[in-house]
Amino acid sequence: MPPSLRFLLLLLVAGSGGATAAAFELEEATIDSIHRAFAAGELTSRGLVELYLRRIASLNPALHAVIELDPDGALAAADRADAAARSSSSALPPLHGIPVLLKDNIAAAGPLNATVGSLAMVGSRPAGDAGVVERLRSAGAVLLGTASLSEWCNFRGPGIPAGWSPRGGQGKNPYVPSATPCSSSSGSAIAAATNMAAVTIGTETDGSIMCPSSFNSVVGIKPTVGLTSRAGVIIISPRMDTVGPITRTVSDAVHVLEAIVGYDARDAEATRMASQYIPEGGYRQFLNIDGLRAKRLGILRKDFFWFPSGSVQQKVFSEHFNIMSKIGAVLVDNLEIPSMDVINDAVQSGERALMLAEFKLSLNYYLSELATSPVRSLSDIIDFNNKHRIEERMAEFGQDYLIQSEATNGIGPNEKHAIARLNKLCKRGIEKVMQDNKLDAIVAPGASAHSLLAIGGYPAITVPAGYASNGVPFAICFGGLKGSEPKLIEIAYSFEQATKVRKPPSLQHSII
């Protein structure tokens, strides 16, 4: 157990340290409700941090949502936020005093490791904050620590359980512990679902925000690639990777999105191109309760809505479609994306070949920029794993993708062919379907459209939609073309407010 988590167990035993937080209802607290409590003198940022630290200490031994914490740094930052609130007569920043957990592949200056769950990366230190961390701090956020994930963002090799890493252990779905927490941002979604932090940050290559958000009944925004900086983030693919919020409400996710978007010279090409999509006045203006009215939504029946007749999912989505129609949405049903069988096959589409080459390039560049690190290349990491076979469970899981990636030599003819194939699949697929049908968004269940949206760097918002007969959550996904976040926010927020599906997990099985 990392020292910071041992500290929290002692804190749990010692009890709460802040009387100002005693009456505050932590469960399902939102950014707005926290700020109202701050303004009313009912809560301080320090008191809030202490509440979250105690909750993490209580729940994390069972759920494995958090890898590492910086309690001293978080409490110091909270004290600064409280002092600023007392002395300032001007408006406070939008995330003032709000605790945040970062996925463990996002670097932050200070004592926290960013290890992607790998023991090989322990002791690495960045020269400074990741681009999104700089923006979070500027917006007033308080960094609590790092959330668990699938080791190497689920790109070490096939067959490794989702949410497992040697540093974090096996993340658990808080609704049904035997169910998958799904994909690599699992810790961020588990922590958000169980109120371990007001805000968590995830990253996605192909499904890693959408899928854990769906299975843990939280809201995930996968932004257009380049809208948020990847500088200081360990990624797999510059073409597909994006950083986004995972929270309990659409409103909170939009608050965070607005804070973290923008140009970053360290990720210049992608963020410069995507900056054109950032609306004047920000994203919160699109939290419109009537946002579904007159929106044209394309329902991708074939290959997506395959639920048996009479199943919970079939009934729930039918009800949701009726609600959206009554609100004023125009549903364009029975749409089909050409070549979905190819898009969903990473080898056929060319996605796998490109990811293998891009991962090596991206990782080696990230490692070269670190101030200190025990490893400096993908080759070093492969060697480390071979020397630490028991801790890394090499006999069970291997490291096939890492080895295949190491064998690549940059973006050559094979990778360029893959890029051309992916571009063609995008233009003849989602882009043509949306343009031909004049759609504002496509609609799919859960994360089923993850590859469709990943290969072109398109955005999506997942919102809780229901709970299966066994209690496992599922979501609805609204996706669109690049830069369509304003429309997707209107649609997602309006749907959320009309249905109000989300409920917190019971957690009796999770408390020590």
Question: Is 216:173 a contact under the CB 8 Å cutoff?
Answer: yes
Locate 381 and state its tokens: 């990491």
- Count the helix, strand and coil residues of the chain and give each as a percent rounded to the nearest 5: 45, 15, 45
Question: What is the C-alpha to C-alpha distance for residues 383 and 380, in angstroms, rounded to an integer?
Answer: 5
The answer to whether 362 is a known catalytic residue is no
Integer angstrom CA distances of residue 485 from 22, 126, 299, 334, 434:
38, 31, 18, 24, 15
At 227, give phi and psi (nearest 5°): -65, -35
The answer to whether 427 is a known catalytic residue is no
- How many alpha carbons lie under 13 Å from residue 453 in its C-beta half-sphere? 38
Question: What is the C-alpha to C-alpha distance for residues 253 and 284, in angstroms, rounded to an integer?
Answer: 10
Residue with tokens 């496992």: 472
Q: Which of 249, 194, 245, 244 is nearest to 216 (CA)?
A: 194
Query: What would you report as the CA-atom Rg of the chain, rounded to the nearest whole angstrom?
Result: 22
Q: Which value, to the nearest 10 degrees, does the dihedral of the CA atoms of residues 51, 461, 444, 202 take?
A: -60
Please provide the DSSP assignment of 398-441 as one string. --HHHHHHHT--SS-HHHHHHHHHHHHHHIIIIIHHHHHTT-SE
Please provide the DSSP assignment of 353-392 as one string. HHHHHHHHHHHHHHHHH-SB-S--SHHHHHHHHHH-TTTT
- Describe the strand order of the beta sheet including 473-479 as a list of residue ranges: 66-69, 142-147, 99-103, 199-204, 242-247, 219-222, 460-467, 473-479, 441-445, 296-299, 330-332
The answer to whether 103 is a known catalytic residue is yes
Question: Is 375:381 a contact under the CB 8 Å cutoff?
Answer: yes
Helix (H) or strand (E) holding 473: strand 473-479
Question: What is the C-alpha to C-alpha distance for residues 196 and 146, in angstroms, rounded to an integer?
Answer: 12
Catalytic residue from among 150, 186, 208, 213: 208
Residues in CB range of 420: below 8 A, 6 or more apart:
none
User: What is the 8-class DSSP label of residue 125?
Assistant: B
Catalytic residue from among 184, 217, 237, 510: 184
Question: What is the C-alpha to C-alpha distance for residues 247 and 245, in angstroms, rounded to an integer?
Answer: 6
Question: What is the C-alpha to C-alpha distance for residues 5 and 65, in angstroms, rounded to an integer?
Answer: 12
Question: What is the C-alpha to C-alpha distance for residues 107 and 490, in angstroms, rounded to an integer?
Answer: 32
Question: Is 247:209 a contact under the CB 8 Å cutoff?
Answer: no
Catalytic residue from among 4, 45, 58, 103: 103
Residues taking part in catalysis:
103, 184, 208
